[in-house]
Structure formats: C-alpha cells, structure tokens
A and B are shown apart, each in its own frame.
Chain A
Amino acid sequence: MSLLLVEDLEVSFRTTWGPVKANEGISLVVKEREILALIGETGCGKTTFGKALLRLLSRNVKIEGKILFLGRDLLALPEKEMRLVRGKEIGILLQNPSLSLNPVLSIGDQIAEIYRCHENCGKKEAKKKAGEMLVLVGIDPSRKSEYPHQFSGGMLQRVMVAMGLALRPGLLIADEPTKGLDPQTKQQIADLISGLVRQEGSSMLLITHDLEVAERIADRAAVMYAGEIVETGEAGEIFSSPKHPYTRALLESLPGKGLRSVPGQSPSFVSPPPGCRYHPRCEFRMEACPKTRPRLLELEGGRQVRCLLYEKKTGDEKGGKTRCRS
C-alpha cells in the first residue's frame, strides 16, 4: 500500500533567465513502513523535491503534478489544511540543523511549540512532552533550556529528529541527516532515525548523497540525476547490480569500491544537455544518446531505469523513436 504517491512532479523556479526546471517528471512511491532513499549528487534537485512535497519552497516556485498522501492531493489543499499536514502527518528534517534551528529560542521551546500548536497543549504539558522527545533521541532533558549554539553538530541533528518525529508523523522526510558528521556519529544518527521510524511504524524518505548511509538503512532506493529519476528499485539490488551508468559511476565512487569520483561536472539546470542528461559524462554513450530523451523503463522486479541501453533489451517495438516524457 502506498503512503505517498508522487506523479509527474515538475518544479520550476522563475529566474531572470526564464523558468528553470529543478525537478522534471518525477514519479515516486513511498510505501507504508518503508525507508526509501533518494540518492544523487549535491545540486541534483533532491532538496528541492523534499521541500516541494511539503510546499515549503518560496513563492516564485511553480509546482505541477500530483502529490498524493494517503489519497489526498497535497498540491490541491488550501494552505490552512496544508499547515496541519506539516509536522503532524509528514515531518521533515531540513538540511543543516544549525541553520534550521532558531538561534534565539531554546531547543526545548522549539520542540514544545509543536505540541502547543498542533495539540493545543498547555505550556507545562508541552514542555514535558518535549523533554520526553529529548530522552527518546538520546539527549539529557535537562539541556532543554539551552540554545542551539551550545550543541555539537551531531546533537543538533538529534534535536532535529526530536522535532521531526514529535507528533509521530506517518512519513518523515530526512534531508541529508548525516551531512557534515564524522563517520561514527553518522552511523549513530542513521541508526537512531531508522530505529525510531521503524519503531513507530512510519515511513521515511531519506534524501542523501551518502551511499553508505542509504545502503545501511534503506529498503528501496531512487537515484536522481539533474532533476530526473534515473533508476529505482530494491536497495539491495541497486547497490549490488546497478543498471544505470550513473548509478554505477556513483557506486564506484564509494571508498570500498575504488573511490573513483563520477567524471565530469553536474549539468546546469539553466541549460541542460539535450537528449539523455547524463550523456556528456557517460562511458556507455551511444549515437542516439544526445538526440533522444530516454524514458523511465520498467524492468522486472519493480526496477525502473532511464537509459537507452535497456531500451532494446526489453524488446520495446517503439524503441527507435522513443517519445519524450513531459
């Protein structure tokens, strides 16, 4: 059963150079009690996607398509109802906790205000619940009157987790929760989040460029490149037998597997390359790649891949003149 169903999502920024598409034709499913990792390099549009789900982008951003959460289209909700979805039904850990926490409010207050707002708690009650949340994420509750700058990076991330899960939302979006942490803290945080999510029977969309963390906790994975999904499937399968050349290159960049970084630069959103967006960096580039926009092909076992290499193998008759998505 799918908890979140995203269909043909397109996010475009209005800029001085005209509209720039940061996400294009994204279709994605997050099932109940599942951790889905959204993987990609920095700047590929992952964060935009995460924020778009909760409609947290600024006003000059246009979002089209469908975001169905438990059957309701979030994009069609009036702002007032959307507000009740945020935090309560879908929690989000924004990137960079030190910027996402208000510097002049104590962390206890910043957690407690969630209860005060959504559950109409009294001050005392809310504070008590905030304290319990801190215990849950492994912070001494006596530190609740301290301010963000008094915490280390790992501790701040724990505070973020406490805030994101405060109302036990059905879905947690975690944007780079392990960014900038040392390897040991990274594992602790990853285990903490996945443990709590599984314990609550919730689902999680883990947005990360850290493949090790994704491999460690995700059930399924989706790979994003230049604002498009290029491959999805069971996490185990993706990591053991990647199909898309980009996924392969990404995996080869892992420390255990050669530490070879993906060659070339990520493309700009302003003038994306024609045809397959990955073709300028692809080692399997074919003649058709710069000309044809590949579509997301369904392979067996729920795998999806957006690459012309697989177009013929599936025996698709229309393979010669693939139609462009969107």
Chain B
Amino acid sequence: MWNYIAKRLLLISIVIFGVTLITFSAMYLAPGDPAEVIAIARYGQDLSAEQIEAVRETEGLNSSVYIQYLNWLEHVLHLDFGRSLISSDDILEEILLRLPATAELALASLFLSLLIAIPAGTLSSLKQNTLLDNACVFTSLLGVSIPNFWLGLLFIWLFALILRLLPSYGYGSLENLVLPALTLGTSMAAVTTRLTRSSMLEVLKQEYIVAARAKGLDERTILIRHALKNALLPVLTFAGMQLGYLLGGTVIVETIFAWPGLGKLLVDSIFSRDFAMVQGCVLFIAVLFSLSNLAVDILYAVLDPRIRYDKHD
C-alpha cells in the first residue's frame, strides 16, 4: 500500500515536471517577440522601443530560454507564481481567491450528477431491457451529446427568462448555484448513469449475488450491501476522475453564467493576453487534477479490501 503510494508520487512528480515544461513553452506559441507581447499587454499598442527593452530587462527575457525556464521553475517551486502582467496582482493569491467559487460549482455538480446517476443507473440495470431501461440508456446518450454551453443557454432561457424562477448569472446565493451546477452536472450524470448501469449489470451476474440470495437475504440487503457496494467502486473512481472533466467544464459554464471562478479567470486572462496569469492558472489546474487523481486512487485502495491488504503493490 505505502509502496504503491510512493510509486504513484514518483510518477506524479515526473508528470508535473512535464506539465511545467509544457506550460512554460506554451508562452512561446504566441506569435511575435515575448517582450513586445508583454509590453503590449501592459501598456497598450502605443509603445516605444525603450518600454519593450525595459520589459525584457525586468522579466529576465535577455537570458537564454533554459535559464528563463529554470528561473521560473525555481520560483514556482517556492510557490511564487509571479505577478499578473496587467494588474500586477500576485498570481497565486488571485488563483486562491477564485478557487472557492470553482470548487463550489464543481462539487455541487458532482453531487448533483451522482444524485441523478446512481439511482437512475441502478434502476435501469434492475429493469434491464424494459422500456424504462431503454429510456434511461437513450436519455443518457442524449445527455452525453448535448454540448453544455448550449444546455446552459437553454436553461437560462427556460428558467431565467421564461419562467423567471432563477437568476441567469451571478454568484453568492444558492439560487445562483442551481443553473450552473445543473448545466455542468447533467452531462456528467449522463456518463455516470451509463457506467453505473453497466457496472451493476456486471455485478448482478456475479456468483456472490446468487450466494447472497441463497442465504435468504432480502432483495434490499442484496441490492445495497452486496451489489451496490461492489458496483459503486468503479463509479466512485470514475466520479473522482471526472473532477478533471468538471475543472475543464467550469471554463465554459463559468463564462456563460459569469461565475467568478478559476475557469473564468483563465479565459479572461487569455483574452487580455496576460500570459503569466494563463501560465499560473493552467499549471495550477493541471497539478490540482493530477493530485485529485492520486487521491482517488488512494481512496479506491482504501475502499477495496483486495488492494488495501495487498502487501506487494
């Protein structure tokens, strides 16, 4: 178990190192002289050559790319993500300021999706090949195929503009959370429903379900204790991995609903060409995603006794 965690930690550090490389070099994808690009971002289009040189000096763009990378990496390792090119705010501070909103949205969506998916998938598997099951399968395929930016607009149109039940944008109250979470949660619910269904079907075929029935247990106990407990293991792992999907999805949903989270910060920074902020956001999201995947794997090991007690990895 500890071996396993150590091995995973080593792998993850390699991955994160690669992530910093990509994040850093992405900057150089932007056409033109980086010093000029930064200067434009900072001072606008009307620049003097001195201003560009000054930027080159202060941002350390004189030195070779490798030195620049190592400098940057050293700062990042000390949790110094630098300052925004536009507002000069501390990047990490800004990110941490935005994080709670994104976390709130992501967790609410995750919760909502599980709330829909687990009962729907279970019911669907128990009534396999009935009308209800087919409807469930069809709806979830439909759900997977609806782009969430369109779904978000449909929700705004229906619930905010036509029915006037909920606010179409903003942040702060529970009412504000409903539509964004529903938008992000439903497409995830669709995938999770399918997974729950297939996982349940697989488990229901197992001999230990027959054995539980042979012991004379009632159907409820069999379903909850024996079937669901096994079937939900992959579902929970998947839900954990979906955190990444959620982090990506927040970019779009936060933009639609003007939700002041990390995703919106990233998109806004891309538009204002605040590369330092883009770098910081992307790095932060990727590391967060990697760590959450690790956490899910460990949680899985804790939940599944077969892995928990496996001494040799």
A residues contacting B by CB (< 8 A) are 51, 54, 56, 83-88, 91-92, 94-96, 99-106, 113-114, 117-118, 147, 149-150, 163, 166
**Chain A neighbourhood of B305, CB < 8 A:** 103-104, 106, 147, 149
Q: Are A104 and B304 in contact (CB under 8 A)?
A: yes
User: How far, in angstroms, from A275 to B260 measured CA to CA in the complex?
Assistant: 81
Q: Which of B206, B207, B213, B215 contacts A163 (CB 8 A)?
A: B215
**Chain B neighbourhood of A99, CB < 8 A:** 206-208
**Chain A neighbourhood of B309, CB < 8 A:** 147, 149-150
Asked if A56 meets B214 with Cβ closer than 8 Å, knowing A105-B225, A147-B309, the reply is yes
**Chain A neighbourhood of B229, CB < 8 A:** 102, 104-105
- Report B227 CB to chain A, min CB distance, Å: 9
| Closest chain A residue, CB of each to CB of B229 | A104
Q: Are B207 and A100 in contact (CB under 8 A)?
A: yes
| Closest chain A residue, CB of each to CB of B128 | A59
Q: Which of A100, A150, A166 contacts B208 (CB 8 A)?
A: A100
B residues contacting A by CB (< 8 A) are 206-208, 210-218, 221, 225-226, 229-230, 233, 303-306, 309
Q: Which of B207, B210, B211, B230 contacts A104 (CB 8 A)?
A: B230
Interface CB pairs A-B, < 8 A, 28? A51-B210, A54-B214, A56-B214, A83-B216, A83-B217, A86-B213, A86-B214, A86-B216, A94-B207, A94-B211, A94-B214, A99-B207, A99-B208, A100-B208, A100-B210, A101-B211, A103-B208, A103-B230, A103-B304, A105-B229, A113-B215, A113-B225, A114-B217, A147-B306, A149-B305, A150-B309, A163-B211, A166-B215
User: How far, in angstroms, from A103 to B306 measured CA to CA in the complex?
Assistant: 7
User: How far, in angstroms, from A114 to B226 measured CA to CA in the complex?
Assistant: 13
**Chain B neighbourhood of A101, CB < 8 A:** 208, 211
User: How far, in angstroms, from A86 to B216 measured CA to CA in the complex?
Assistant: 5
Asked if A84 meets B213 with Cβ closer than 8 Å, knowing A104-B305, A149-B309, the reply is no
Q: Which of B206, B207, B216, B226 contacts A118 (CB 8 A)?
A: B216
**Chain B neighbourhood of A92, CB < 8 A:** 214
